Chains A and B, each alone.
Chain A
Amino acid sequence: NAGVTQTPKFQVLKTGQSMTLQCAQDMNHNSMYWYRQDPGMGLRLIYYSASEGTTDKGEVPNGYNVSRLNKREFSLRLESAAPSQTSVYFCASSRTATGSHQPQHFGDGTRLSIL
């Protein structure tokens, strides 16, 4: 009963390097989300995918790209990492996107440090 699985759990990058954060869910959810959490800032939405084949920008999309590979997987890519992207990244999923509210279920996060 894995739920939402994120890999890797920790990563250190140098400025300018690229990296892809992976996320997979096994709950047959339609919608998936990427957040970042910074001290004193709560969780901020980076990108989301309402359903397979669609992606949209959230509150803080600059410097990131996403790919909804299939219904299970939603990846987040940093093309040229910057120190301001040092954060904890959370992936989440929810059952439905349109017409009703459903709680989101979160992975345990990826702790990313950029030097």
Chain B
Amino acid sequence: DQQVKQNSPSLSVQEGRISILNCDYTNSMFDYFLWYKKYPAEGPTFLISISSIKDKNEDGRFTVFLNKSAKHLSLHIVPSQPGDSAVYFCAASARDTGANSKLTFGKGITLSVRP
């Protein structure tokens, strides 16, 4: 039962254009969402997060949008740069009484930005 879904395995965009990476989730208890970026032979790097009390969070070229009713979030990268080419993981966390920093990851999407 995949609780965090990244249904598109890859995305290719032209440099300077917008990249939109999508993520869907099924667990209504998730209240914190993150995006990680991963280069080959490196560990995932935290990119941006959003709490369920918000519907948008922006950090420079990166913006995450959350639609709780649709259980959908998206990462927008504007403008896209060749250095953004990487695998992007969507992750979610549910608050509980235990170690509630546990993350559930999607399978990732490979973004290629063409010069």
CB of B81 closer than 8 Å to a CB of A: no
Q: How large is the interface on A (under 10, 10 to 19, 20 to 34, 35 or more residues)?
A: 20 to 34
CB distance from A98 to the nearest CB of B (A): 6
CB distance from B38 to the nearest CB of A (A): 9
Chain A residues proximal to chain B, CB less than 8 Å: 4, 31, 33, 35, 40-45, 48, 50, 54, 56, 58, 90, 92, 94, 96-99, 101-109
Q: A50-B101, A58-B102, A101-B31 are in contact. List 18 more A-B contacts (CB 8 A).
A: A4-B43, A42-B4, A42-B89, A43-B103, A43-B105, A45-B103, A54-B99, A56-B99, A90-B44, A97-B100, A97-B101, A98-B98, A101-B49, A102-B101, A106-B45, A107-B43, A108-B43, A109-B42
Q: A43 and B102: CB pair below 8 A?
A: no
A-B contact count (CB 8 A): 69
Q: How far is the CA of A103 from the CA of B91 in the complex (A)?
A: 10
Q: A42 and B34: CB pair below 8 A?
A: no
Task: Select the residue from B32, B44, B107 with max chain A CB neighbours within 10 A.
Answer: B44
Q: How large is the interface on B (under 10, 10 to 19, 20 to 34, 35 or more residues)?
A: 20 to 34
Q: How far is the CA of A4 from the CA of B46 in the complex (A)?
A: 13
Q: B100 and A43: CB pair below 8 A?
A: no
From A31, A33, A97, A103, B49 is in contact (CB under 8 Å) with: A103
Residues of B within 8 A of A109 (CB): 41-43
CB distance from A89 to the nearest CB of B (A): 10
From B31, B34, B95, A103 is in contact (CB under 8 Å) with: B34
